Every structure is written in C-alpha cells, then in structure tokens.
Structure 1
Amino acid sequence: MRKRNSLTGVTRKVTFVVAATLAFAGTSGLTGCKKNEKTEPETTIAQPPSDKAVASVESYQSGTHNGFFWSLWKSDGATGTVNYANGIGGNYSVNWNGFNGNFTCGKGYSVGSPTYKIGYNLGAYSNSGGGTFGWYGWSRSPYYEYYVNETWGAVSPHDGTYLGTFETDGAGYNVWTRWMTGKNIDGGDGFRQIYSSRVTKTSTGQNHTITFANHYNKWQSLGHTLGQLNIPAIMVSETWGTNTNGNINCTIWAQ
C-alpha cells in the first residue's frame, strides 16, 4: 500500500482501472514487517519514491489469456527491466532487474465479485523493494481500493488504522483501513482503502485459497461495505522502489 505512505500510488491505480475499463468497454461495459497473530501489530509507514506523484503513464498492456484477464503497468519514467509472461491456464511469471519506479501485473477477471474463491500456488517469490502480492481491485459507490495481501517485499505495506484480526482459509489476517485524499478511479477526490494482510506471509510451492467473501463480509461487519465491483480484479504482483530486483511465478484457479 503506498499512495503517499501507502501500498500503491494513486495515479497508478487510476491509470490501471481507467485503462482496464477502456480495454473492456466494447465487450463488458466497463503492496517486511512480521506480525504476531492475535496481537495488535505496530504501524509501519512505507514511504514511496517521489515519482509516485507523476500523473502520466509509460505503458499499460492488458488482454485475455486462457479465460483470464491480465495486465501489466509500468510508471512513467521507469527504468530497468521487467519481463512479464503468461503461462498455461492461470499461470503468469514476472522477473525484474535494476528496476526504478513502480509496476504492477497479474491475472484475474475483467470484473470483481464478492463471491470469488481463488486458489493459488505461489511457486516463487522474491522482491527487494516495496509492494505486495495478493488479490486486488476497486469498487464504486462508494469508492474503495481493496487488497488481500498474501505476502510482500522488503518494505512493509502496512499503514493506516488497525481494525483487528480474524481467521479464514487457515490463516490469520490483520485488517487495516485509511482515507486517501488523492484521485479515485473516476478522477474525483478521495476514496477509502481497505485491506487484509496475512499475519504471517504465505508459503511458496503450496496450494492456498482466498475466500474473498470472508474478507468482504469481515470488512462489512467493521462498517466498510464495498460498492459496485464491475472493475477488473487480479492476483496482483507489485513492486516499487529504487534498483529493485525480484522474481515471481504464480498460478491461480477458481475454487
């Protein structure tokens, strides 16, 4: 979570959703801080690079592959190498070297849903910068940016107001929220960020499940009900920082 001391930059999110909306307009109308389970975690602020305020985009690619929506975004002025590849089915991989800036990529669906149950296997994960890996999307009316963070890079994404801990799918999750004063996905002012982060980072090489309804319902019980989810939702891999390196390989499937 970046956005001026958060997981992701506001301009990146606006660009991601606007570009994805345009991509699907013709067919569908369209972020390392270890937490101790059952204890309130400390607030760790991850400062983004100054270029996160840039309101332009260097590149955005998206499409469909084996029935999944996929996207790759890089911030304006980013340098270094990023190599994204779609694999068989719900698999994708990305590796980067000497990267300066911010990128996001992943596979998922062209529209979100509170009932999605996602299976995933994180075959490999390394990230020397900030960022996160997990389920990600937006809602409208009201505007929310949401995450289910399964693991993260060397810089912790956790920030905002801690709302508590709950268990689902065999893991503990800490819930955080905060109000953001930047632009929402439609260019208006302000939106709220809500996210669940695993108490302990997910393991690699094993099958895991994200029952998104459990997060959706928990957030709702805490007074944060998501709005319309007719916006792409993806198993996101994100990184930001200076001279970062990493490698991620992930496969997702519907449970």
Structure 2
Amino acid sequence: MVSFTSLFVATVAAAGALAAPATNMTIEATVPSLVERGGTPSSTGTNNGYYYSWWTDGAAQATYTNNGGGSYSLSWSGNNGNLVGGKGWNPGSSSRTVHYSGTYQPNGNSYLSVYGWTRNALIEYYVVESYGSYNPSSAAQKKGTVSCDGASYDVLSTWRYNAPSIDGTQTFQQFWSVRNPKKNPGGSISGSVTVSCHFNAWRQFGMALGSSFDYQIVATEGYQSSGSSSITVS
C-alpha cells in the first residue's frame, strides 16, 4: 500500500483544499451524481474543535461522518477505489501524544495510522498501528527498529516521484514507523502514540522531518477493499 497510499492520501490536501468544510456533523452528498454514487464527497475543515480530512475518488460506496468531539466513523464497500479520512489537528506537533480508541474492521488493504505532513522539507509520514491484508513494510527501505509506548516498530523510508502532495505535484520522501506485530484488526482497538519517540528515532536514522507542520490526524485508509471504523481521537 506504499504506492496507493501516498497517491490517494496526498490527494487529500489537493482535493480537500477546494472543498468547503462541512457545517454539520455529517457531510452531505451535494455534488454531482458520480460522487453521490460514491457516498460522502471529499472535504476538509474543522469539526467540534478538531481538524478533519476526508478524501475519496468516488469509486467505492463510502460514508464518512464527523461525530462529537474527536470522533469520526467511516464505512466503505465494493472492493473498489481509494479513500482516507480521519480527525486530528492542524498544525501538527512534534511533542503531542495521540490517543485513539474505537473499532477498526478492515477487509483487504487498509491502514489505521497517525498520518501527517511537514514542509521545509516536504515529508509525508505515518505511524501505522494496524493494517489489513497488506504490510507497508514490504515496499519500503528498512532503516531499523524503535521501541515506543511499549511496542516495537519497523522504521522505513521511501521516495515518491512527481506525485500529488499538499503542495501539488512534487518529489518527496515518506517516513514510516510500522508496529510489529500490528494491533489485530477486526474489532475494538485503542492505544497511544508518542510522536516525539518516532520523530527522534527517525532523526537518528538520518530521516529529518521538515521545520513546519501541516495537519496530523488519526486516519483510516482503504484501497480496493471494504470495512468500517469508528475512532475517537484525543
């Protein structure tokens, strides 16, 4: 999922920047029929004190809902298309401890991760807590391992060339921490991610994030799959 994730998640910024934020707890499908058939149209903004980002290419039947506080829910079906959504903060932080809880039930390719971007340099980053049938470690260069919050993570990096990003089409690096073993999907899930633990480890492996943070969310992603999640972020 390294290839599809960076492609469609990076498009969140490009697609979402053009969409008006939702004013209700549920984002209504009010765009043309092709997107309506795909369920909830793409959007970014703020909701109940949290930043949210939601993007879909419209190929899957997907419903994204902003619930109270830091909660969101997502369901998708059809084993088709790309989508990603979640809640968090904008800007992100190098010192935040991210807490999440809820349910995560993927069927096929999917991630549950702390996800974000930096500028100066432009970096796309992931701390993957759980995933479906595809392990992102299989398609990136392993730098080593790090122990954070009582768990072991594989540290990896890869490059994306002429790919969509928060600053349009760019060439940029992706930084990864992938929990090993992953938290088992299929039901209740919870945990905490001390982002400084990962960021400091990445720096020791020569992987320096940019000096300016863009958004930082707990994201549920899917690619040619189906599933559901209901996550609360704090």
Q: Normalising by the residue count of structure 2, what TM-score does the alignment of the two structures yield?
A: 0.82
1:43 counterpart residue number: none
Q: Work out the CA distance in 2 between the residues paired with 1:114 and 1:170.
A: 19
- State the Cα distance separating 1:218 from its structure 2 match: 0.5
Residue aligning to 2:114: 135
Partner of 2:11: 15
What is aligned with 1:234?
A: 217
* 2:42 corresponds to 1:63: no
How far 1:206 sits from its partner (Å)?
Answer: 5.4
**Alignment partners' CA distance in 2, 1:187 and 1:134:** 23
Q: TM-score, normalised by structure 1?
A: 0.76
Q: CA deviation at 1:99?
A: 4.1
Q: Is the 8 A contact 1:119 1:210 kept in 2?
A: yes
Question: Which runs of structure 2 are paired with 1:149-188 in the superposition (5 Å)?
Answer: 149-158=128-137, 159-183=139-163, 184-188=165-169
- The alignment-based identity, stated in percent, is 33
User: Which one of 95, 100, 110 corresponds to residue 90 of structure 2?
Assistant: 110
Q: Which runs of 5+ in 2 are unaligned?
A: 21-39
RMSD: 2.2
State whether structure 2 residue 194 is matched by structure 1 residue 197. Answer: no
1:88 alignment partner in structure 2: 68
Which amino acid in the other structure matches residue 46 of structure 2?
T
Q: How many residues get paired? A: 211
Cα distance in 1, alignment partners of residues 190 and 157 from structure 2:
28
Deviation per residue, 1:73-97 (Å, 9 max, x gap): 012xx33311111222211111112
In structure 2, the CA distance between the partners of 1:98 and 1:149, relative to structure 1 (3 Å rule), is same
Tell me, yes or no, if the aligned pair for 1:83 and 1:94 is still in contact at 8 Å. Answer: yes
User: Is the 1:174–1:198 contact (alpha carbons within 8 Å) kept by the matching residues of 2?
Assistant: yes
- AA aligned to 1:73 is W
Cα distance between partner residues in 2 of 1:80 and 1:207: 27
1:245 alignment partner, one of 220, 226, 234 = 226
Q: For 1:146 and 1:230, how far apart are their aligned partners in 2? A: 11
Distance 2:66 2:41 in 1: 17
3-state SS, counterpart of residue 212 of structure 2: coil
2:34 aligns to what? none
Q: 1:237 to 1:229 in 2, by over 3 A?
A: farther
Closer/same/farther in 2, CA of residues 214 and 23 from structure 1, 3 Å limit: farther
SS of the counterpart of 2:183? coil
Task: Call closer, same or farther: CA 1:188–1:154 in 2, change over 3 Å.
Answer: closer
Range with greater deviation from structure 2 (210-219 or 14-23): 14-23
SS in 2 for 1:231: strand
Asked if 1 retains the 8 angstrom alpha-carbon contact of 2:9 and 2:83, the reply is: no
- Distance 1:146-1:240 versus aligned 2 partners, 3 A rule: same
Change (3 A) 1:180 1:196: same
In structure 1, list runs of 5 or more residues that go unmatched: 25-57
